[in-house]
Every structure is written in structure tokens, then in C-alpha cells.
Amino acid sequence: MDIINTKEMSKDDIVAVLDRAAEIEPSDALDGDVLALLFFEPSTRTRMSFDTAMKRLGGDTVDMGSVESSSVKKGETLADTVRVVEGYADAIVLRHPREGAARLAAEFVDVPVINAGDGAGHHPTQTLLDLYTVRDNVAAALGDLHVGIMGDLKYGRTVHSLAFALAKFGARITFVSPPSLRVPENVRTELGRAGIEFKEVDGVDDVIDTLDVLYATRIQKERFPDEKEYEKVAGEYRVTPETLETARDDLVLMHPLPRVDEIAPDVDETRHAKYFEQAHNGVPVRMAVLDMVM
Amino acid sequence: MEELKIQPIRNGTVVDHIPQGQALNVLRVLGVDSATRDVVSVAMNVPSDEMGRKDIVKVEDRRIDSKEADLIALIAPDATVNVVDDYDVTEKHDVSMPDEIRGVLACPNPSCITNTREPVETVFDVRDDEIRCEYCGTVLTDEIAEHLA
Ligand SMILES: [Zn+2]
């Protein structure tokens, strides 16, 4: 079994991963197995998290290292790289700058391929750990939730996958973003086609009191024509203790990390802050995924 | 009148009822380019009772099968494909949109993995009139002929 994107996973598949993650303990279940970590672009956190997950299950990892020092630099195709690595490992974790890379890799090898991010495409274990964190922190069923997704919704890869996954469970979604960073047309069309209802607003103040979850995302400086414009937008979408004044007591505040200015440090001490827990959840969720595919 | 312009061929395939202006794109879909050795005739802007004007393409000594015919549906959804043997039409295909299109189109997303040296052909899924790259999920929005590889 490959894990390419959550869009193609059924609700039952997703629930199975989340359930497994909730109960998984360190063990030697994967003793003797080797996981290959192929990161064609840097993502230290995701790499460490997979590495840890594999080791907690008694397995071992081999790491391709940086692209600069590998055969890729010499112009090797991805199809060749994965076919070579298949001989070293029992599963492959792949991070690649191009959309569709994980699907391509999966076509060329028999061992399971886990997509750890393909360009602006999918990052399914991130989506799964996001869902896990939501489920772990709210009393209601996923389908009864109102989730606000805020920030850069145009380029933010994680938020599109998350929106589709939440919608699978029937959650209500409100997108909060400046007009220039709205959800792109093709995603909008796809959501509509899937019968998913969503609202779009410019500011979080009007909806904050009705939210169960607020998912803030990184707003990247590079997306703006100049520094001033960035500062203005970043300021408006920054979560501070004041932002949360009218929020429900049990509002869950999430962020994929690393954050820049999106959440003020003094929010960390509030009961809403779940983003470090969210980051830690990467390990049990990836343990569950590895345990299921290997 | 039409018969005057479109001379019968002995063996080969006649693609009729192509929308005006799409004849050359039909040839592209069929992989007929300047390197071909087939005898190819193209009639453009032919008066037609049903279509006003239409294009017609004939490729001699080549049989277009129903799979190739379905690719023609991408740009000429009402085309008819007649296979001719010894001056007789021996097969007639109406074209219909295929479920999947392999290798004919290029993905417009520059960072799609299919736009690299990887040894794969493009695959597009056709669903509800939507044509979507199976690798990166990009949906073709403008004229399909624009995306012919
Ligand atoms: Zn593509």
C-alpha cells in the first residue's frame, strides 16, 4: 500500500490510521526493516519525525542525504533513483519539489511509497496528523465541527488537503484570508463539485466565536511585492490573546509550524495553543502509517 | 458538391465532420506530422448542411482504430471515422470521449513531474467533462488542442 494523498483515502482508511495512532506504543514490530528517507528538498522536521517513528518501532532508516551529494546531482531520474533504493529498503519516504513525484515513484517500485510532500501537491502524513490533533482535542465528532482555516490559502499546500479531508467527515469550513491569498479557483471548483460547503471571509473576528478549531498557516514574505505589504497583511492575520477574547473556551488553535509572526508568543500559554502537541503527533501518526504499510 | 472535393480513397481512413479549423489538430492527435510518409489530404471550410462549414481529413493506407478515434473526440466530438478498404467503407466509428488519455497531451503545470526527463507518458483522467492530470491534479481549462504534446 502506498500513501500518496489523503484525497484518495476513504473515510474508513483515515479513521483506521487515526485509531491506530491513538493506541500505538513503541515496540519492535518493524525490527529488521529498513526505511529509506529520500528528501529531494530539505524538510528537517518531517525527516526527523519519520526517522523517530521508524526507530520507535524497532526499525532502521537509511538517508539519501542532500541532493548535492547524490547521484541526482548527476542528472539521474527519479524513476532510476527509486528503483535503486528499492533494493536497500522495505519502504520509501519521498519528499520532492515536483507535483506528482510520489505517484511516479510508486509506479516504478514494489515497496510502499509514502509521500512526504510533492511540490505544491500533497503531504498526506501532515494532513493525518492535523486530523489526529483535531480529533484528540475536541469532544464532538469531526463532522459536527466548524473549522476556520486562516492565512495563505492560495499557496498553502497543507490547507487544501486538510479542507478536503475535513469535508470528507462533513465538517463546516470557513476560509479566512486576505483577498490576494484566497483559495485558488481550481480548488474552489473541486470543493464545490464534491458538494462541500464553505464560507470565505476577510477577517477572523466575525467568526471566531463560532469556531471549534482555528488553523493558522504561514504567510510567506516572498508572496508579497514588498515588505510593507507583507507586514500589513501579517499584522492583520496575527493571532494574539485579543483575537481569542471572544473565542469559545475549548477553541483549538493549530499551526503546522514553523511559525513566523502568525501567532504571538503569549498565546502559547493559553489553553487554546495545541501546535506543539500537533507537531509531536507527527510521530505516533507516522508510526501508525509505517506499521500499516510495512 | 462535397464529393467533388473529397475524392474517394482506395484504402485508409476518412475523418469527417471535424469542426472548422480543427483539421490540423486532428492530424496532431493522430501523430501525423511533417515526417509522415502517409498520403494525407486535408479539406478545410467545406460547406456542410449540418455544420455550416467543416473540415475533413483523409489518411491513406492507415486504419484508425476505435481507440485512436476516441482521441479525436478531444477536439472534434461529432466527428465520424470511416475506414475504407478497396473503396468500400468497412468500419464506421462515432467518436466518444475516452476515460483516460495517455501520452497525447502535455500537462500545463510547469512543475508537474511529467514535464521532466522521467520515463513516463502523461495520463489524464476524463470525468464529467473534466480532464485532470493523474500526476499533479491540474485540470485542463482552455482549448484541449493547446495541450497537445
Ligand atoms: Zn500534471
- Sequence-distant (6+) residues with CB within 8 A of A10 are none
As annotated, the active-site residues of A are: 45-46, 74, 95, 123
Tell me which chain B residues have a C-beta less than 8 angstroms from the C-beta of A193. 128
Measure the CA–CA gap between B103 and A155, rounded to whole angstroms.
Answer: 29
Q: Is the pLDDT of residue B38 over 80?
A: yes
- Is A99 within 8 Å of B109 when comparing Cβ atoms? yes
The arithmetic mean of pLDDT across residues B85-91, rounded, is 92
Q: Is the pTM of this model over 0.80?
A: yes
What is the separation of C-alpha B126 from the centre of its chain, rounded to a whole number of angstroms?
Answer: 16
B contact test, residue of A41, A81, A82, A103 with most B CBs within 10 A: A103
- Sequence-distant (6+) residues with CB within 8 A of B76 are B15, B17, B18, B19, B22, B26, B95
- pLDDT number for residue B1: 47
A228 and B CB contact within 8 Å = no
Residue window 117-136, chain A: list those with CB within 8 Å of chain B: 118-121
- Is B118 within 8 Å of A77 when comparing Cβ atoms? yes
pLDDT-based confidence at residue B6 (cuts at 50, 70, 90): low
Tell me which chain A residues have a C-beta less than 8 angstroms from the C-beta of B136. 98-100, 119, 121
* Chain B positions touching chain A (beta carbons under 8 Å): 109, 111-114, 116-120, 128, 133-139
- Is A99 within 8 Å of B112 when comparing Cβ atoms? yes
A203 and B CB contact within 8 Å = no
Q: Is the pLDDT of residue B37 over 50?
A: yes
| Top-ranked range on mean pLDDT: pick from A30-34, B49-53, B82-86, B130-134 | A30-34
Tell me which chain A residues have a C-beta less than 8 angstroms from the C-beta of B112. 98-100
pLDDT digits (tens, 9 = 90+) for A132-155: 999 999 999 999 999 999 999 988
A178 and B CB contact within 8 Å = no
Domains of chain A: 11-122+281-293 (3.40.50.1370), 124-280 (3.40.50.1370)
A186 and B CB contact within 8 Å = yes
Q: How many CB pairs under 8 A join A and B?
A: 54
Report the candidate in B91, B96, B104 with the shortest Cα–Cα distance to residue B12. Answer: B91
Q: What is the dihedral of CA A154, A156, A160, A161, to 10 degrees?
A: 160
- pLDDT number for residue A186: 78
Q: How close B115 comes to chain A (CA, Å)?
A: 9
Measure the CA–CA gap between A119 and A122, rounded to whole angstroms.
Answer: 8
pLDDT digits (tens, 9 = 90+) for B124-137: 999 877 899 999 99
- pLDDT number for residue B5: 55
Q: Which residues in chain A land under pLDDT 50?
A: none
- Sequence-distant (6+) residues with CB within 8 A of A17 are A128, A285, A288, A289, A292
Q: Is the pLDDT of residue B100 over 60?
A: yes
- pLDDT number for residue A263: 97
- Distance from the first to the final alpha carbon of chain A: 8
- Is B112 within 8 Å of A186 when comparing Cβ atoms? no
- pLDDT number for residue B142: 75
